[in-house]
Amino acid sequence: MPASEFQATQTSWMSRNKLAITPWIFLIPALIFFAIYVVIPVFQSITLSFYQWNGLYDVNGNSTAVWVGLENYTKLWTDPKFWISLKNNVLWLFLFLLAVPLGLFIALFLNQTVMGMRFYKSMFFFPFVISQVVVGLIFGWFYNPDFGVVGSIWKFMFCEETTNILGNVTFKCSSPPPDILSSAKFATYGIIAAGLWPQVAYCMILYLTGLNNVAADQIEAGRLDGAKGWKMLWYVVLPQLKPATFIAVVVTVIGALRSFDMIAIMTQGGPYGSTNVLSYYMFETAISEYGERYGYGSAIATVLFAIMLVFISYFLWRMYQDERGAR
Amino acid sequence: MIRHTKSLLAGVAAAAIMATGALAGDLRINFDDLNPTPKKGFDEMIEMFKAENPDINVIVNINDREAHKTAIRNFLTADAPDITSWYPGNRMAPFVDAGLFEPVDDVWAANGFNEDLAAIKPTMTRDGKIWGVPYSYYQWGVYYRKDIFDLLKIEEPTTWAELMASCKVMNDNGVKPFTIGTKYLWTAAGVFDYINLRTNGYDVHNDLTAGKIKYTDDRIKQTFMNWKQMIDECGFVDNHASMSWQDAIAPFANGDAAMYVMGNFSVGGYKDAGLTNDQIDYFQFPEITPGMPRAEEAPADAFFIPANAKNKEDAKKFLAFVGRADVQTKLNATIGQLPVNSKSTVSDDKFIQEGFATVSTAAGLAQFYDRDAPAAMAKAGMEGFQRFMIDPSALDEILAELDRVQGEVYK
């Protein structure tokens, strides 16, 4: 034994703390990038929200920002467009969560062994694979009152083809076709419906993988005990899908809060700002052509960050609890 | 892998040298239109300048419009060219205020621009100094289907009452009087500007965009009342909020709508849609308040010298060249717009002829709502206009909101 004891005291500090140090070495690259691209900008953005700045530097390269304290935030409080955006964010949050049950039912429906099932599955998964921009464009055309599907069906039902004064073909409608994306009332719902399409596919895939791991013996046992239909789903299958449900909810909530691309593609926040959400309104005030108010945009970003923080902290806390429970 | 990295580094270094290593005789020009016709006009002009100044090595960098709008915010500070294209009016204000543009009063004085470019001088001026030289502008007005007007025996209206009467004839015959696409908002601002200019005149337009008049002012309310009359008695195409200005050409080309309040750049669009010069024509936006001096919209494009330019001497030579009557004549003949220099001549295209007659006799030239008003105000204003066009009954709410934004923007 003395020999080995001698050995232990001789080894370097590095090798003695190997287990504690190694993870950090592996983490360093990720941490550096995370700091540069996420953590530092977050604090920069919060700092900027106390300034008024049009994004310009003077000839000598000094920023032209002016300290205004909390003024950007008090402005937000009286800005109706901010409240519209916040209201739309809440709408997105609740309606987007429909993707979770919808995804579950499609997954249950697809979770059977029929000829060509893989093909159907991939068809249902398809919208998630194509870019959000493409989804936005497709739905934009779909809703178009002149040449879209909605417009064509409307024309078929309520319009008659006539010729106009010059003898060209035109349509006379008993009422004009619905212009979903240009109506302050319906545009947001139209965009959310477009957003749901890929999101449902995503939730479906999460549940499909979850269903693979559902224990067959428990289903069997449940069946012997007389459970079937809704009861089987609610008491036997769903509890086993809890991890999948958790991830689906997390991904959907975050997806709803950062909804941006659909809005940018389909309405640019219009008509007259009625489909803005916080992220798009931030973009519009800070970076777009008629924006250039970086301080105000940063204040909006900070509010959005605070809202997200509530959800993210909750999710992290839940994950932490689960891990502790699992140990 | 290492070799690749090395050559990549060498490439980056070379690019850096090219970007910053401009020599004394170099003149770097950033231009912002990649569309074939404007680019051709610009290239011809550069060739002409080179021929006259063989000792100056001109380096041209042409970017697309939208990219230029973003890039200029960086390159004015970081890596300024000697000349850049930009817009007058409020669009140049942030750069002037940050000290990023060079005043060019001396160029104007030395070349007689104070007389030859007099009409545009107020919009090129800020804080008592002149900041650039305009090279081109274009008229706005009402473009209409001459064949429909002939068919319905309507004359070009010159007063508001005549316009309303013509609209009635069109509506009775199943023709929508006006087409418009307000998806990108600014088209509605054109209509607003014209009704406001005709109702209240040039000074009220300037005071409004300068934040000196409230939107709830009775005069501005009167503008909206006239607009409401135009919506009620004339009417615009359905679904205009989902159309771009190009989309709105479709009903115009098909003969469903007969008039379009637009800028002259749209003529190309009509012709692309299959219309010929015999089918389309132009009239000035009709008079509303009798005797009100006629002001017009004529957005101008100009060249500026960044304060950080390295070769200001040659840059000023270029500005003097750009403002010259013969240069503007040639350039605008190619790009199909109007020369700003009053000694220039125009091509015999009928729209250019009419536009020149309209603009050169105007009592005042407005730059367009979104160039005369600061960006944040312009955005809120144009959204208000779009909302008004969809729902005129929301007027009081819209005006109150615009007053609130105005209170924040102008301080």
pLDDT tens, position by position, A208-251: 999 988 888 888 888 888 888 888 888 888 989 998 999 999 99
Query: Are B314 and B386 within one domain?
Result: no
Q: How far is CA B72 from the centre of its chain?
A: 18
**Which parts of chain B sit beneath pLDDT 50?**
1-22
| Structure confidence at residue B16 (pLDDT) | 43
| Closest CB to B242 among A59, A172, A179 | A179
Bridge partner residues of B300 (DSSP): B137
Please check whether residue B170 lies inside any domain of the structure: yes
**Confidence label for A327 from pLDDT (cuts 50, 70 and 90):** low
**Confidence label for A9 from pLDDT (cuts 50, 70 and 90):** low
| Closest CB to B175 among A165, A289, A291 | A165
Sequence-separated (6 or more) residues with CB below 8 Å from residue A260: A277, A279, A280, A283
Chain B residue with CA closest to A171: the answer is B256
Instruction: For residues A94-121, give the mean pLDDT.
Output: 90
| Closest CB to B99 among A59, A144, A165 | A59
Bridge partner residues of B179 (DSSP): B260
CA distance A120 to A133: 24
Digit-coded pLDDT (tens) for A162-178: 888 888 888 888 888 88
Chain A residue with CA closest to B383: the answer is A272
Choose among B97, B189, B198: nearest CA to B378: B189
Query: Are B257 and B287 within one domain?
Result: yes
Please check whether residue B311 lies inside any domain of the structure: yes
Q: How many Å lie between the alpha carbon of B344 and the closest alpha carbon of chain A?
A: 33
Q: Do A164 and B386 touch (CB under 8 A)?
A: no
Q: How many Å lie between the alpha carbon of B327 and the closest alpha carbon of chain A?
A: 31
Query: Are B172 and B122 within one domain?
Result: no
Check if the beta carbon of residue B294 is closer than 8 Å to that of residue B363. Answer: yes
Chain A residue with CA closest to B102: the answer is A59
Number of domains present in the structure of chain B: 2
Query: Are B197 and B322 within one domain?
Result: no
Check if the beta carbon of residue A181 is closer than 8 Å to that of residue A174. Answer: no
| Structure confidence at residue B276 (pLDDT) | 92
Please check whether residue B283 lies inside any domain of the structure: yes
Q: Do B307 and A291 touch (CB under 8 A)?
A: no
Check if the beta carbon of residue B188 is closer than 8 Å to that of residue B180. Answer: yes
Check if the beta carbon of residue B385 is closer than 8 Å to that of residue B188. Answer: yes
Burial class of residue B231 in the structure, from the number of CB atoms within 10 Å of its CB (0-12 exposed, 13-18 middle, 19+ buried): middle
Instruction: For residues A255-282, give the mean pLDDT.
Output: 90
| Structure confidence at residue B159 (pLDDT) | 95
Check if the beta carbon of residue B89 is closer than 8 Å to that of residue B371. Answer: yes
Please check whether residue B17 lies inside any domain of the structure: no
Please check whether residue B7 lies inside any domain of the structure: no
Please check whether residue B397 lies inside any domain of the structure: yes
| Closest CB to B148 among A165, A273, A285 | A165
A57 contacts on B by Cβ (under 8 Å): 77, 98
A182 contacts on B by Cβ (under 8 Å): 183, 239, 241-242, 390
ipTM of the complex: 0.82
Digit-coded pLDDT (tens) for B344-356: 888 888 999 999 8
Digit-coded pLDDT (tens) for A285-297: 998 888 788 999 9
| Rounded percentage of chain A residues whose pLDDT exceeds 70 | 96
Sequence-separated (6 or more) residues with CB below 8 Å from residue B57: B23, B25, B26, B27
β-bridge pairing A66-67 and A169-173 = unpaired
| Structure confidence at residue B6 (pLDDT) | 43
CA distance B351 to B330: 17
Which residue type occupies A191? I
DSSP state of B184: T
| Structure confidence at residue B12 (pLDDT) | 44
B79 contacts on A by Cβ (under 8 Å): none
| Structure confidence at residue B17 (pLDDT) | 42
Q: How far is CA A62 from the centre of its chain?
A: 37
State the CB neighbour count (10 A cutoff) for residue A224: 8
| Ramachandran region, residue B153 (left: φ > 0; alpha: ψ -120 to 50; beta: rest) | left
Q: How many Å lie between the alpha carbon of B410 and the closest alpha carbon of chain A?
A: 13
Chain A residue with CA closest to B69: the answer is A289
B173 contacts on A by Cβ (under 8 Å): 165
Digit-coded pLDDT (tens) for B331-386: 999 888 999 988 888 888 899 999 988 988 888 889 899 888 988 899 999 999 99
Chain B residue with CA closest to A143: the answer is B242
Contacts 24+ apart (CB under 8 A), B16-22: B19/B79, B20/B79, B22/B59, B22/B310, B22/B311
Q: How many Å lie between the alpha carbon of A296 and the closest alpha carbon of chain B?
A: 11
Query: Are B309 and B291 within one domain?
Result: no
Query: Are B380 and B235 within one domain?
Result: yes
- What phi and psi values does residue B301 have, to the nearest 5 degrees? -110, 145
Query: Are B56 and B43 within one domain?
Result: yes
CATH number assigned to the domain comprising residue B35: 3.40.190.10
Please check whether residue B14 lies inside any domain of the structure: no
**Confidence label for A8 from pLDDT (cuts 50, 70 and 90):** low
Choose among B138, B31, B107, B125: nearest CA to B324: B107
Query: Are B29 and B177 within one domain?
Result: no
- What phi and psi values does residue A206 have, to the nearest 5 degrees? -60, -45
Chain A residues with a Cβ under 8 Å from any Cβ in chain B: 54-59, 61, 64, 75, 78, 80, 144-146, 164-166, 168, 170, 172, 176-177, 179, 181-182, 184, 268, 270-273, 284-285, 289-293
Q: How many Å lie between the alpha carbon of B51 and the closest alpha carbon of chain A?
A: 33
Instruction: For residues A106-122, give the mean pLDDT.
Output: 87
Query: Are B160 and B223 within one domain?
Result: yes
| Closest CB to B239 among A145, A165, A166 | A145
Chain A residue with CA closest to B66: the answer is A289
Query: Are B67 and B182 within one domain?
Result: no
Query: Are B281 and B311 within one domain?
Result: no
Please check whether residue B100 lies inside any domain of the structure: yes
Query: Are B47 and B163 within one domain?
Result: no
Structural domain range at position B161: 140-297+374-409
Chain A residue with CA closest to B78: the answer is A61
| Structure confidence at residue B64 (pLDDT) | 86
Instruction: For residues A250-274, give the mean pLDDT.
Output: 89
Burial class of residue B236 in the structure, from the number of CB atoms within 10 Å of its CB (0-12 exposed, 13-18 middle, 19+ buried): buried
